[in-house]
Amino acid sequence: MTAPWKLLAEDLQAARDRDPAARSRFEIVLGYPGLHALWSHRLTHAMWQWAPLKLAARVLSQITRSLTGVEIHPGAVLGRRLFIDHGMGVVIGETAVVGDDVTLFHGVTLGGRSMTHGKRHPTIGNGVVIGAGAKVLGPIWVGDHAQIGANAVVVKDVPSHAVAVGVPAQIKGRPTSAPIVEHCEDPAIFI
């Protein structure tokens, strides 16, 4: 198991690396609600594993939501170095799974399409970027390093390294040589 202090340092570094507006770790600790929501989720997710604490976990996640504008269900499984930029309006559902090094902008929903129980939220691969206001709905899969355009509504699987835009989202491109992470080298394009 990774030491909590190491996870914390990684989270701060992820924010520094992916937000050109971030000037210091101290500023990030104080002023990044996405990070506060992530840290709260680490606690609520641990509580969620023990039945008597499930209610308390839900209550804490709702308190976090009212403080940060980010709602993450305690049952959601989040990878390392998740960066939620701006935060406000992000919703991550109970059965969502998010890989490592994912970036979400404000207004992103990882939501369900039906009221049935069981897996009903998306699985997001490593290194995925999901633009502001995008909705990714249903038990679909978004492949590693895919990019979802701002305000897209994604209801079908997205292949790795693909760019999906529009409503409903269509695949616009799938770079074969250069990995998307290189393509995104200058995070200023997302400001």
Ligand X SMILES: CC(C)(COP(=O)(O)OP(=O)(O)OC[C@H]1O[C@@H](n2cnc3c(N)ncnc32)[C@H](O)[C@@H]1OP(=O)(O)O)[C@@H](O)C(=O)NCCC(=O)NCCS
109 vs 147 by CB, closer to ligand X = 147
Task: Give the residue carrying structure tokens 């970036």.
Answer: 103
Minimum distance of ligand X from residue 191's CB (angstroms): 6
- Per CB under 6 A, the segment of 16-24, 51-59, 138-146, 161-169 that binds ligand X is 161-169
| 163 scored as a contact of ligand X (CB under 6 A) | yes
| 190 scored as a contact of ligand X (CB under 6 A) | yes
Q: How many residues bind ligand X (CB under 6 A)?
A: 14
- Per CB under 6 A, the segment of 37-45, 65-73, 74-82, 148-156 that binds ligand X is 148-156
Q: Whole-angstrom Cα distance, residue 16 to residue 1? A: 24
User: Residue from 60, 132, 155, 181 that binds ligand X (CB under 6 A)?
Assistant: 132
161, 142 contact by CB (below 8 A): no
| 109 scored as a contact of ligand X (CB under 6 A) | no
58 vs 160 by CB, closer to ligand X = 160
| 131 scored as a contact of ligand X (CB under 6 A) | yes
Task: List residues binding ligand X (CB under 6 A).
Answer: 86, 105, 131-132, 147, 149-151, 163, 165-166, 172, 190-191
